[in-house]
Structure 1
Amino acid sequence: MTDLMQALSLSASGMEAQARRLRHVSENIANADTPGYHRKLVSFQSEVETGAVSVGKVRLDQTALPKVYDPSHPLADLTGHYDGSNVDLVIEIADAREAQRSYEANLRLFDQARQMTQSLFDLIRR
């Protein structure tokens, strides 16, 4: 019985971690056109005793910001350039799909463990 409860707990932690990852991906997509915006990167950590997954520190991508030429932009310097965003929408969409699929896999595991627990309870009641 404890193995089933542990499976529920592990899959729930995986779903929570992927949901947070999707939140940061959506923030990156929303700020793709924001001047000076650095992409947020999410890292995962595994707890040694339980094996549960948690989100580590959110880091900012230190890739150089592209210089955008637009002399009419309010942030433009004397040469007409300003710092753009280092968000690549193709990468963000790929990350979103990966997070979605990982979330769905954890959801299927959670549902299987729940069904097994329910079946066990049904057997005990008989």
Structure 2
Amino acid sequence: MSDISKSLEISASGMRATSSRLRLTSENLANSDTPGYHRKVASFEQVFSGGVETGLVRNGKTHLDRTELPKIYDPSHVLANSDGYYQGSNVNLMIEIADAREAQRSYDANLKMFEQARKMSTALMDLLRR
């Protein structure tokens, strides 16, 4: 495999992984007001081929954030116990927004690498045609 096609493959794997992270962040934001919802956290794994590091990355298992769910006092809520409390969500909007920005920047960096490798490949083909 040529270095240019390998760099395209590495960039594409990074974009796939970060798009998955953005999807989980979106799910967390959408469920931030859902009682009992645990925040989902993405993990990534390096890809090895024959024990050799390939430079590729893939999604690992999705984990649930096991921090304690906050107790919210609202005696009129359907899920409230006899004391008037129910379990809220452990999604922190500031953390989710920061994660989304970080994932977006990572996606953009991989996209720029992909575009640069594509331009180099096109320039090489143009040189070979001459």
When normalised by structure 1's length, the TM-score is 0.98
Partner of 1:87: 91
Instruction: Tell me, yes or no, if structure 1 residue 74 matches structure 2 residue 78.
Output: yes
Post-superposition Cα deviations, 1:78-112, rounded to whole Å, max 9, x if no partner, equal: 00000000000000000000000000000000000
Other structure's SS at 1:52 match: strand
Instruction: State the secondary structure of the residue aligned to 1:86.
Output: coil
Equivalent residue letter for 2:26: S
Q: Give runs of aligned pairs for residues 1-126 of structure 1, distance below 5 A.
A: 2-49=2-49, 50-126=54-130
Give the gaps of 5 or more residues in structure 2: none
Give the letter for the 2:81 counterpart.
D
- Unmatched tracts of structure 1, length 5 or more: none
RMSD: 0.8
Q: Give the fraction of aligned pairs with identical amino acids, expressed as a percent.
A: 62
Q: Specify which structure has the higher proportion of strand.
A: 2
TM-score (structure 2 length as normaliser): 0.95
CA shift, 1:13, in A, is 0.4
The one-letter code matched in structure 2 to 1:111 is E
Q: Distance in 2 between matches of 1:52 and 1:71?
A: 51
Aligned counterparts of 1:46 and 1:119: Cα–Cα separation in 2: 31
Task: Give the letter aligned to residue 102 of structure 1.
Answer: S
Distance, in Å, in 2 between the alignment partners of 1:86 and 1:48 is 35
